[in-house]
Structure 1
Amino acid sequence: MSSTFYNPKDKIKIFNTVVDPVSEKESREILSGFLDEGGFHWIFTPNTEIVMALRDDAEKAAVMNEADLVVPDGIGLVIGSKMGGHPLEERVTGYDLSIYLLELAKEKNERIFFLGGEPNVAAEAKKRVEEKYGPIVAAEHHGYFKGAHRGYENSEEEAAVIRAINESGASILFVGLGFPKQEQFLLNNRDKLENIVVAIGNGGVLDVLAGKAKRAPDIFIRLHLEWFYRLLKNPSRIGRQMAIPKFLWTIARNKKAVTVVKENRGGSHES
């Protein structure tokens, strides 16, 4: 992390992905501190499926590990880290951090830009959020535009999106393009985002805020069975959900897949 106010703990590396061993409470404090500090900070929220994908792409993982805060958005990561002898504190979801950012925006008089989803999804999310939190959403744009994240380099459509974000005056950016497109968008354009202080790639959060999708019932969330609920609702996800048992089986066979990355003022090193 590049923040001056936060003294990072040693990080946990699972395969190629480095994760911050922070609680949800600590993550909230960090987000609030980022907004107070200024500058640009981006939040990466990998789940088990993403960590497995990055296991086979060390180069992409190294780029993702540059994020200012990486939280374990998947109970499989928490279980796997314990199996490997270097436990993460708890699951910290991108959804919950996104909701907290809505609360922070209201509290600190910040504005948010919604980017992503199908046409009209971000607009509906804006409407519903402002009914609850007030006028905290500066502007929105759907995710169906040509950009480098979709293989269109130097696209005028992407340039127009960047201008819209900058002209909105928003300091918080939700990017709901799905992994890895949302992260690629942020990495490609972070130097062009003039006012954004906190950016988070948060997948389908806008769909939930717009009422297009529903989060799992509380009982599934408390039991860490959101993945099972999504599978029940959409059995075609079975292939994707197999990443979880494959992940845990791989760690069970090789516990050295989980290591500690020591943090110090001179940089990071593994142990």
Structure 2
Amino acid sequence: MENKKVNILGFDFLNSSFNNFMDGLKERINQRQNTFVVTANPEIVVAALNDNQYAETIKKADYLVPDGVGIVMGANILGSDMSERITGYDVLLDLLAWGNQNHKSAYFLGAKPEVIADLKTIIPQKYPDLSVAGYHDGYFNDSDEIAAEIAQNKPDMVFVALGFPKQEYFIEKYRQQNDGLWIGLGGSFDVLSGHVQRAPQFWINHRIEWLYRLIKEPTRFKRMLALPKFIRLIKKQKKQK
């Protein structure tokens, strides 16, 4: 896999096309290489800058990829040629289709019980040749028990949708118990199950998916404040360079 990177506020983001990244990721999955992927947006970066433990956790990832137009904007301000987002949801859809074609196995962890309940119907319908190693919602007390189930079933891919920073802490703690892919996916299960609607393609193509989500979920406003703060920090980094 191409390993060109851009340092953004101290975090080394992969600068690759989506297709090149996916080709390399699938090769690692085929070889059962232990792989930790963080799909990060400006909100995650700002949170990490304010939390040393979280910062160190995501720096341990094998790949930190730009999930969020703000990351691409920041990279461009710093003079890089980054042009593509690599969103967790797009990675999930691509891997599910590929896993179905190649008889891979996956474990699904996270989201609300009703979301997981719907996934248990949707996954076999859409991906009948994907082997499901297990499902568990994001409401649990014993993470060791879940990790033990993953270790026993040995899935090729572990999809963790607990939201940050919980999903990254979980992965970093337990990833050595199973060789394969571990990736944090935020709210992707909500979209896959139909509980949340993704922005239409027009909004995605024009890089305003964030605005569509804000219109649909006004309570996200406080979270969106991370973007202007992120851009200010980027401009400060540029001046220092």
> TM-score scaled to structure 1, two decimals?
0.83
Given that 1:45 and 1:202 are in contact with CA atoms closer than 8 Å, whether structure 2 keeps it comes out as: yes
Partner of 1:103: 97
Is the alpha carbon distance of 1:58 and 1:160 closer, same or farther for their aligned partners in structure 2, counting shifts above 3 Å? closer
Query: 2:139 maps to which residue?
Result: 144
Taking the aligned partners of 2:234 and 2:143, their CA distance within structure 1 comes to: 40
Query: Residue type of the partner of 1:110?
Result: K
- Uncovered stretches (5+) of structure 2, i.e. residues with no partner: none
Distance 2:227 2:2 in 1: 32
Q: Which residue number in structure 1 is paired with residue 210 of structure 2?
A: 227
User: Which residue of 1 is the match for residue 121 of structure 2?
Assistant: 127
In structure 2, C-alpha distance between the alignment counterparts of 1:42 and 1:175, rounded to whole Å: 11
Letter in 2 for 1:215: R
Q: Deviations over 1:83-130 (max 9, x none)?
A: 112232311101101111101211221011100011132231132122
Aligned twin of 2:55:
61
**Corresponding residue of 1:70:** 64
Q: CA offset at residue 135 of structure 1?
A: 4.1
Q: Are 1:32 and 2:17 matched, yes or no?
A: no
Partner of 1:162: 147
Q: Percent identity?
A: 36
**Greater percentage in helix:** 2
Match of 1:113 in 2: 107
| Aligned equivalent of 1:15 | 9
> Which aligned segments of 4 or more residues in structure 1 are displaced greater than 6 angstroms?
none
Separation in structure 2 between the aligned mates of residue 7 and residue 209 of structure 1, nearest angstrom:
29
Cα distance between partner residues in 2 of 1:184 and 1:253: 29
Distance 2:79 2:216 in 1: 34
CA–CA distance in structure 1, aligned partners of residues 56 and 76 of structure 2? 23
Q: Which residue of 2 aligns with 1:154?
A: none
Q: Which one of 14, 34, 43 corresponds to residue 49 of structure 1?
A: 43
Aligned residue among 194, 202, 208 for 2:185: 202
Residue 191 of structure 1 aligns to a residue whose secondary structure is helix
2:13 and 2:203 map into 1 onto residues whose CA distance is: 24
Normalising by the residue count of structure 2, what TM-score does the alignment of the two structures yield? 0.92
Alpha-carbon distance between aligned partners in 2 of 1:84 and 1:37, rounded to the nearest angstrom: 35
Q: CA deviation at 1:7?
A: 5.3
RMSD: 1.8
Is the Cα contact below 8 Å between 2:32 and 2:156 reproduced in 1? Answer: no
- Which is worse superposed, 41-50 or 163-172? 163-172
Aligned-partner Cα distance in 1 for 2:183–2:91: 9
How many residue pairs are counted as aligned between the two chains? 240
The Cα shift of 1:163 comes to 2.4
Partner of 2:164: 179
Partner SS, residue 167 of structure 2: helix
Is the CA contact 1:84–1:256 (under 8 Å) kept in the aligned structure 2?
A: no
Structure 1 segments unaligned to the other structure (5+ residues)? 1-5, 147-156, 260-271
